[in-house]
Structure 1
Amino acid sequence: MAEKREYRMEELARLAGITVRTLRFYRERKLIPPPRREGRIAWYDDHHLARLRTISALLDRGHTLSGIAELAEAFDHGRDVADLLGVGTPTEEEPVRLTPEELAARFEGEVTPENLAAAMELGYLGTDGDEIVHISRRLLDVSSALVREGIPLAEVLAAGRQVRRHADALAGLFADLVLRHASEEDLPRLRPLARSVVEAELSLALDRRMRGQSEPG
């Protein structure tokens, strides 16, 4: 385990590539957490350094300091990753760890406090120190692809909320079906069959929708 490093204000500013005056300004705006005090000496750590580098990256991407302050507040009050993923919960989905600037790069211009709060409420995002954890690489890739196609992230998240309700209903239907004829221990083994049924039915439904839209009125 790496030894925790601490820095005086001047060293932290130098490592972050900013001036001491800028560091004081960020601290006054509560963009970084308070330092550890030892008498009159303020000690900063790698958490502060990571946050300062994130601020610089977000500023380079066009975010304002006010927007960054709101993002930092949402980030600091986000769901803990342990609460998001649970302990020992089996899943086929692969969580993805991201820095805030990596998340901003994925959704250029769409990472707002409102969207961040919505994603955390849905359970897509959790926090782990200076990192953000997305619960599913597949959902992350699909949602960022939709945003690149010009669909606003807020609408992608709203659609995700509706899909969640339908998916919960489908999962309940399948679980009830299995439990009427088998046991709870059979659920993991039969899970791929349920997924195949849903994927096939969604594919057929999309075919019907596209045919309906292409037919002359």
Structure 2
Amino acid sequence: MTLVRRSAEHGITTLTLDSPHNRNALSSRLVAELLAGLAEAGEDAGTRAVLLTHTGNTFCSGADLTEAGPDGPQALVRLMRAVIGLRKPVVARVDGHARAGGLGLLGACDISVAGEGATFAFTEARLGLAPAVISLPLLPRLDPRAAARYYLTGERFGAAEAVRIGLVTAGEQELDAILDGLRRGSPQGLAESKALATAEVRRAFERDAESLTALSARLFASAEAREGMTAFLERREPVWAR
């Protein structure tokens, strides 16, 4: 069964995350298929932009906790780099929940839109973790005060707040106009414009990717994180929240 479906129409290649049984978690297989889809779109002369969307009520829930291990942070960094490094714009359409690594994937996209059903939360601190590697594309784009609040509290928020703080570009009603604009761009114009727009994010990757990957791996290996992830999978409160 394919976990990332591909289609193309009028210059837009659509990659659809289709693993609803685990809320489109970033399993090794899903990541591999998504990387392949991005690479294929990058080589396709007829593709002006990539639209990344999803099935089910979750855009992406983050790491697949059943596969959690020391290579997970590195795999997420590779995926985010692939999105940012693609010489074609990547647009995310979210009409469901986005959590943890899913927010990093969202942040790596050049443009994003959210529907009324979208919700967002940085839940890492509740699991004994921190939003380490996902900060690479997010902190250059987020309002600093909002980042502090939502990183620390894990509160859930909706599409309007996501737009206000810079996590999302616009509401879903803007998608057609965005895609129409991208179709009108030349390959060279889009590539060089994207390079300008992502310069600060790319600098963050070059500067901090190694240290934040090490931090994430250290936290995942900790006793607190094991308790947090076990409590999540067992649908109970961790010991520090009782």
TM-score range with shorter-chain normalisation?
A: under 0.3
Bigger relative contact order (CA 8 A; separation at least 6):
2
Q: Flag the structure with higher helix content.
A: 1
TM-score, normalised to structure 1, is 0.26
TM-score, normalised to structure 2, is 0.24
